[in-house]
Each structure stands twice: as structure tokens, then as C-alpha cells.
């Protein structure tokens, strides 16, 4: 089964955080994991923030970024989904960044797995719920 993930899920593969076990379970599953190419700078930015907060060393950050780039994640360009992402963001008052993942999930007809509580809560009571999966429910 296909699933779209965001950087809030992927970072848990490398840094101990809440829901890291669920994220690891998802990574080990037979599901095919997808993401917009946007995940690359978003993931890198999370690692950079952790470096700035001195939660990790630069060497650890470099290793995490290299390891992430080797995952079997299937990357998709945003050009095909930007209009849908913008429309969704405008309708729900959520960011285009977050909606880029949701738009990809909708285009693939699958679920978007996230650990972004704000985005999840904003959409969990809508008709889009069937395309949205909270990381804690994996």
C-alpha cells in the first residue's frame, strides 16, 4: 500500500522523539513510502535546528542527512500538485507546505501520515480524514 510521509515522521527514524516506534514500524512495513521533493529541505532544516539547539553535533547531523538521502522513499516533483496544494491551503487556512504532502496523497489515492498535530487536528473532522493518518495510529 502507498503512503505519503512528511519530515515530521522521517526525523523520528534518526532522532529519539515521541512516536519514534510508530515511525520505525512504518519504515519497516511493506508499504511504499512517498513524499514530495519538498521533504528534502524540510528534513534538512529540522536537522539544522537540532544542531543549533545543540541536541546533535554537526557530525551527527551530516550522518543523518546522508542516511536519509539513502532511504527508499519515492520522491515526487511538486509541479503537478502545487495548484491543489494552494487551493487546500486557502480553504483550510493551513500552509501550502503541509498541503503539498496532502495533495500528493490525494493524487496517489492514499493516506498522508504525519506527526504535525496542528495540521492533523485541522483536518481530522473533515471529509479528508480518510486520507490522513496520525503517526500514533500507525
| Structure confidence by residue, pLDDT tens digits, 85-130 | 999 999 999 999 999 999 999 999 999 999 999 999 999 999 999 9
The total number of residues shown for the chain amounts to: 138
Residue 64 phi/psi, 5° resolution? -60, -45
The mean pLDDT of 131-138, rounded to a whole number, is 96
Cross-strand bridge partners of residue 4? 34, 112
Which pLDDT score is estimated for 38?
97
Under 8 Å between Cβ of 105 and 9: no
Entry pTM: 0.94
The mean pLDDT of 79-88, rounded to a whole number, is 96
Which pLDDT score is estimated for 10?
97
**Residue 80 to residues 3, 69, 76, 77, Cα–Cα distance (Å):** 18, 23, 9, 7
Structural domain that includes position 10: 2-137
pLDDT one-digit tens code per residue, 23-70: 999 999 999 999 999 999 999 999 999 999 999 999 999 999 999 999
Which pLDDT score is estimated for 47?
98
Neighbouring residues of 83: CB distance < 8 A, sequence distance ≥ 6: none
- Residue 63, domain CATH: 3.40.50.1010
How many distinct structural domains can be found in the chain? 1
Amino acid at each position: 500500500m502507498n503512503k505519503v510521509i512528511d519530515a515530521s515522521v522521517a526525523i523520528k527514524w534518526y532522532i529519539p522523539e515521541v512516536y519514534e516506534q510508530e515511525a520505525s514500524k512504518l519504515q519497516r512495513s511493506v508499504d511504499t513510502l512517498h513524499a514530495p521533493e519538498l521533504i528534502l529541505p524540510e528534513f534538512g532544516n529540522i536537522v539544522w535546528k537540532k544542531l543549533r539547539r545543540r541536541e546533535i553535533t554537526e557530525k551527527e547531523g551530516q550522518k543523518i542527512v546522508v542516511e536519509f538521502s539513502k532511504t527508499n522513499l519515492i520522491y515526487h516533483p511538486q509541479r503537478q500538485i502545487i495548484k491543489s496544494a494552494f487551493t487546500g491551503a486557502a480553504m483550510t487556512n493551513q500552509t501550502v507546505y503541509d498541503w503539498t504532502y496532502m495533495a500528493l496523497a490525494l493524487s496517489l489515492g492514499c493516506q498522508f501520515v504525519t506527526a504535525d498535530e496542528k495540521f492533523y487536528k485541522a483536518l481530522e473532522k473533515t471529509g479528508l480524514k480518510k486520507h490522513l493518518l496520525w503517526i500514533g495510529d500507525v
